[in-house]
Amino acid sequence: MAELASRYDHHAVEDRWYRFWMERGYFRPRGSGPVFSVVLPPPNVTGVLHLGHALNSTWQDILVRYHRMKGDDTLWVPGTDHAGIHTQMKVEELLRSQGRDRREMGREAFLEEAWAWRERYGGIILEQLKKLGVSVDWDRLRFTLDEGLSKAVVEVFVRLWEEGLIYRGDYITNWCVSCGTALSDIEVEHIEEPGSLTTIRYPLADGSGRFIAVATTRPETLLGDTAVAVHPDDPRWRDFIGRTAVVPLVERPVPIVADRAVDPEYGTGAVKVTPAHDPNDFAIGQRHSLPAVKVIGEDGRMTAEAGARYQGLTREEARELVLEDLRHQGLVVAEEPITHAVGHCEKCGTIIEPLLSRQWFVRIAPLAGPALEAVRTGAVRFVPERFAKVYLNWMTNIHDWCISRQLWWGHRIPAYYCDACGEVTVARTAPEACPRCGGPVHQDEDVLDTWFSSALWPFSTLGWPDITPDFSRYYPTSVLSTGYDIIFFWVARMIMQGIHFTGQRPFSVVLLHGLIRDREGRKMSKSLGNGVDPLQVVEAYGADALRMGLVMGTTPGNDLRYSEERIEAAARFANKVYNAVRFVRLNLEEEDRRRLEEDLPVVLSPADRWIRSRLARTVAAVGDYLDRFEFGEAARAIYDFLWDEYCDWYIELAKRRLKTSGPDRDAALATLVGVAREALALLHPFMPFLTEELWQALPHAGESLMVAPWPQAAGEDEAAEAEMRLVQDLIRTLRNLRAELKLPPSQAVDAVAVAEDGEAARVWRREAESVRLLARVEHLEVVEPGQTWRRPEPAISGVTLGGPVYVPLLGVVDIEQERRRLGKLLAEARAEQERVQRRLADRGFLDRAPADVVEATARQAEEVAARLARLAARLEELG
C-alpha cells in the first residue's frame, strides 16, 4: 500500500498516474469480450483545448473507463483533422510575418511549410487532452491526411464518381472572398445586421415612359441583372409579363418573367434577377434560360463585366457609387432601413458572396435515403431523442453538397484533365497520359472539403478500404459523442457515407451535448472576453475537479452555464474523499492489512450492513445512469453517497469502534476499506487521478484501479436501512434543536426520546452511544411505548420518525432571554408576512410581474407562515 501525503496535491498526482497507465498499456483494447468502440471527434490540428472539448472528452472518457472496467473489449481511437481553411490561414499568416507569399512560393513549397507547421504545432491539443486524463489508445493515433486515411478519401471519391454521385458543374456557391474558397451552406453563419431596402425604377424598353419598381438590398448587383421577375398571379404586374425592361446604368434590355418563386409580399413584388450572384436568382435563371453575368470576382471586387466605371471597386464601394448614380438619374423611389440576416464565413467572419463558379458536388439524395431509414427504424439512436426530428427534417430537405475548396492544404481532388482534348479522368492513381488521346494531363488544383474526409472517420481510422482486423472487430462503433451544433456538418454525413460504403451504420448511438455558456447564458467568445482556458482551471484545481465540475448537473443536449464555483465545489469534494480515505489509511496497522487481505469472516454491525446496502443501491443507480448516458445523475449519486453517507455518517459512526479491539473493530475496518474501494471504483470514470491515488493506498488486488472490475450490486438490506433511518432522524432532529438554540459545540444537553413503537425503542437503546456522540447529548433517555414518564418543563421538542424528542432547557439556556429572542423573531416574521401578503393582494403586481417572480413570492409566503408556526410553538413550549 502507498502512503498518502497530509493533504491532496493534484500537481503531484496527475502526471505520475497518466504516465503509469500509458507505460503499462492500459489504454489498449484487450482483444476479447464484448466490444465497445468509440472514435474521438478529431479536433482541428490548429486547435487548442476549450471547455467544449473538455466536456465532450470527459463524457467519452467516462464511458470508455466504465466499459473497460466492466470487462468489455474497449477501443477509443484518437486523431486530429487537417482543418483545411484554418490551417492554410495559419500558415499564410506565418509566411506573411516572414515577408513571403504562397503564390510566389508555389504549391509544393507551401505544402512543405504546412507540414512543418503541423509537426511543430499540430499536436498541442492532443497533449492538452492528456492533461484531462483521456484514456485513448495513443498507439492508434490518426490524422486525416495520413496515408491510410487519404487512401480511403480517394477510394470514396472515385466510387461516387463511378456511381454517378459526384459531378462537376457551374452553380451558385457560398464564396468567401477572404479565404478564397467556396463553402457549404452549413459553413455560413447568418447574422442579423442593419441594412437598406432600396426601390429602383427599371424603365420599360418600349419608350412608353412606364417602369417597373424593383426592391433590393444589394444595388451593386443590378449591374449583372438579366431579368426582372414577378409572381404570375400578382395583379400589379400581370400586364408587364413578357415585356422588356432596361437595367439602369448598364442599359441592358432584359425580359420580365413570371415565376412562382417570387414572394408578392416582399418589397414591390417585383425582383431583379442576377443569376450569377444569388441562389434563388440562379434557380430562376435555370428555369427561364437566362444568361449569367458575373460582375463580382473571387477577390470581392467588381469585374470588367460591371463596366469601366465600377471595375476594381470593392462590393461596398460599388454599392455607394451605384446608389449615387441612381439617385442622380432620379431612379431611386425609396430607401427603407431594415434589419436582415447576412451570411458570414464561419471561419473568418467575412460577408459571404453568392458566386457562380465551377465546383465539384455530391448528389446527396441517393445517400440520404438509407441514412433517413437508419434513424427512423432506430438502427441509429439519438440521445436526446428530440434531435432525431431535427436530423430527419434536415435530411428530408437536403441539397447537393459542394465538396471542392480552392485551397492547397487538404486532399487534392483525384481528377485529371487532358491538356490536349480536355478529357476528365477520375482515378485512384495519377494516369501517366490521357486514356483517350494519350496527351499530357494535369491534376485538378482544388482540394476536398475537410468534412468530406471527416465523414469517413469511423471506418477510415480502422483501416478501410482494407478489411483490417481492427475494422472487422471494432466497426460499427458503439457511441458517437459530439455537440448538437454539428449534426449537419458531420453526424449526418458520417451516417450517409458509413452506410453507403460499409453497408452498416457507423455507430449505434449519437450522444449530443450542449454548449457551455458563461454564467449569464452568453456564448463564450473572444470578442466578449468571457472564454475560459481549461488548462488554467486544471492548474488551479486539478483535472478531476474540472471533469466533475463540468459533469455535475449536466444532461445530454442541454446547454451548461459555467461557473468557477462548480469547479471549486468539485475540488472540495476531492479533498473530502481524500481526507476520508487518509483517515482510514491512518487507522490501518500492518496486522490489520494482513487480516483484511486474508478476508477473514467478520460479524457486521447494523451500521456496517446499512452502508453496504447503501453502496449496493449506489452501484445499481450509477450503472443504470451510465447505461442511459445520464452522466450528471450518475455523478450526483456517487457524490451524495461518498459525501453524505460514507464520510458524514459511516465514518463518524465507526470512529468509536476503531478505538476498541477485537471483532467489532475488524468489522468496522473491513467495511471502511471495502466500501471505500468499491466507491472509488464507481468514482474512477469521473475522477480518475484522485481515485487511482487513493485506491493504491488501500489493500487491493491488481495493479491499477483502471483495470479493476466494475463493482457488482450486492444485496440490499431493507431492515438495516430502516433501522438507520430511525437513528439518523433522531440525530438530525437533535442537531437541529441545538442549532435553533444556538448552542456552542462544547455545550452538552440531555434528551428524552419517546418511542412510539418497540422497534424504535430497541434501535435507539442499542445505538444510544452513537446518538450521544454524534448529537452531542450528555444523557439520552429512551421512553418505551406505554411507559409512564413526565415531560420535562421547560423543553424544546422535535418530531422524528420514531416519535417525539425533547431537550430540557433548565440550565441550558436563559429562559427569559430565549423568550425575548423568540419574541423578536416572531415580530419580524409577522412583519415580513404582512409585506408579502400585501404584495400578493396587489392586482397590479400580479398582472405585471413575471410568472416566476409571482411564484417565488407565493413560496416566500408559505415559508414565512411555516416559520411563524415554528416560532409560536417554541414560545408556547417556554411557557
Write the pLDDT tens digit of every residue in 380-399: 999 999 999 999 999 998 88
Cell of 204: 420599360
- DSSP labels, 167-193: EEEEEEEEEETTTTEEE-GGGEEEEEE
So what's the pLDDT on residue 527?
A: 64
Query: Within this chain, do residues 649 and 751 fall inside the same structural domain, yes or no?
Result: no
For residue 14, give Cα distances in angstroms to 413, 603, 696. 44, 38, 14
Query: Within this chain, do residues 686 and 747 fall inside the same structural domain, yes or no?
Result: no
Inter-residue long-range contacts of 764-772, CB under 8 Å, 24+ positions, other chains counted: 764/726, 764/727, 764/730, 764/802, 766/606, 767/606, 767/727, 769/656, 770/607, 770/653, 770/656, 770/727, 770/731, 771/727, 771/730, 771/731, 771/734
Q: How many CB atoms lie within 10 A of CB 628?
A: 12
Biggest alpha carbon distance in the chain?
118
Query: Within this chain, do residues 738 and 790 fall inside the same structural domain, yes or no?
Result: yes
**Is residue 600 predicted with pLDDT exceeding 60?**
no
Domain boundary among 762, 794, 810: 810
Query: Within this chain, do residues 796 and 845 fall inside the same structural domain, yes or no?
Result: no
Query: Within this chain, do residues 669 and 726 fall inside the same structural domain, yes or no?
Result: no
Average pLDDT over residues 347-357: 86
Cell of 506: 457507423
Residues 6+ apart with CB under 8 A from 377: none
So what's the pLDDT on residue 601?
A: 59
**Is residue 873 predicted with pLDDT exceeding 90?**
no
Query: Within this chain, do residues 217 and 291 fall inside the same structural domain, yes or no?
Result: yes
Average pLDDT over residues 826-854: 87
Contact 491, 383 (CB under 8 A): no
Backbone angles phi, psi at 644, to 5 degrees: -80, -50
Average pLDDT, the chain: 92
Query: Within this chain, do residues 335 and 199 fall inside the same structural domain, yes or no?
Result: yes
Query: Within this chain, do residues 827 and 806 fall inside the same structural domain, yes or no?
Result: no
So what's the pLDDT on residue 211?
A: 94
Find the range with the poorest average confidence among 390-399, 491-500, 542-551: 390-399
Q: Terminal CA-to-CA distance of the chain, rounded, Å?
A: 60
- pLDDT band at 523; cut points 50, 70, 90: confident
What range does the domain containing 209 cover?
181-354
Query: Within this chain, do residues 724 and 782 fall inside the same structural domain, yes or no?
Result: yes
> Per the domain annotation, does 606 fall within a domain?
yes
Average pLDDT over residues 789-800: 88
Query: Within this chain, do residues 269 and 350 fall inside the same structural domain, yes or no?
Result: yes
Number of structural domains (the chain) is 5
> Per the domain annotation, does 472 fall within a domain?
no
Residue 440 sits in a domain whose CATH number is 2.20.28
526 labeled binding residue:
yes
So what's the pLDDT on residue 825?
A: 84
How many Cα neighbours within 13 Å face the side chain of 739? 8
So what's the pLDDT on residue 714?
A: 83
Average pLDDT over residues 138-149: 96
Q: What's the whole-model pTM score?
A: 0.86
Average pLDDT over residues 442-450: 95
Residue 726 sits in a domain whose CATH number is 3.30.2320
Strand spans (E) along 394-469: 401-402, 404-405, 415-418, 424-426, 441-443, 447-448
Average pLDDT over residues 204-208: 92
Find the range with the poorest average confidence among 182-191, 231-240, 284-293: 182-191
So what's the pLDDT on residue 105?
A: 93
**Is residue 700 predicted with pLDDT exceeding 60?**
yes
> Per the domain annotation, does 387 fall within a domain?
no
Tell me the residue type at 853: V
> Per the domain annotation, does 27 fall within a domain?
no
So what's the pLDDT on residue 731?
A: 96
- pLDDT band at 526; cut points 50, 70, 90: low
So what's the pLDDT on residue 375?
A: 97
Find the range with the poorest average confidence among 155-159, 371-375, 794-798: 794-798
Domain boundary among 810, 830, 849: 810
Contact 861, 837 (CB under 8 A): yes
Query: Within this chain, do residues 801 and 835 fall inside the same structural domain, yes or no?
Result: no
Residue 289 sits in a domain whose CATH number is 3.90.740.10
Tell me the residue type at 478: S
Q: What is the Cα gyration radius of the chain?
A: 36
> Per the domain annotation, does 147 fall within a domain?
no
- Rounded Cα distance between 477 and 505, Å, is 9
> Per the domain annotation, does 117 fall within a domain?
no
- pLDDT band at 707; cut points 50, 70, 90: very high
Residue 834 sits in a domain whose CATH number is 1.10.287
3-class SS of residue 1: coil
Convert the pLDDT of each residue in 840-851 to its tens digit: 888 888 888 888
> Per the domain annotation, does 167 fall within a domain?
no
Domain boundary among 702, 728, 752: 702
- pLDDT band at 585; cut points 50, 70, 90: very high
Average pLDDT over residues 674-680: 97
- pLDDT band at 435; cut points 50, 70, 90: very high
Average pLDDT over residues 401-423: 94
Average pLDDT over residues 245-253: 95
So what's the pLDDT on residue 772?
A: 95
* Sign of the torsion formed by the C-alpha atoms of 776, 673, 588 and 3: negative
**Is residue 649 predicted with pLDDT exceeding 90?**
yes
User: Would you mind telling me the total number of residues written for the chain in this entry?
Assistant: 879
Query: Within this chain, do residues 748 and 688 fall inside the same structural domain, yes or no?
Result: no
> Per the domain annotation, does 677 fall within a domain?
yes
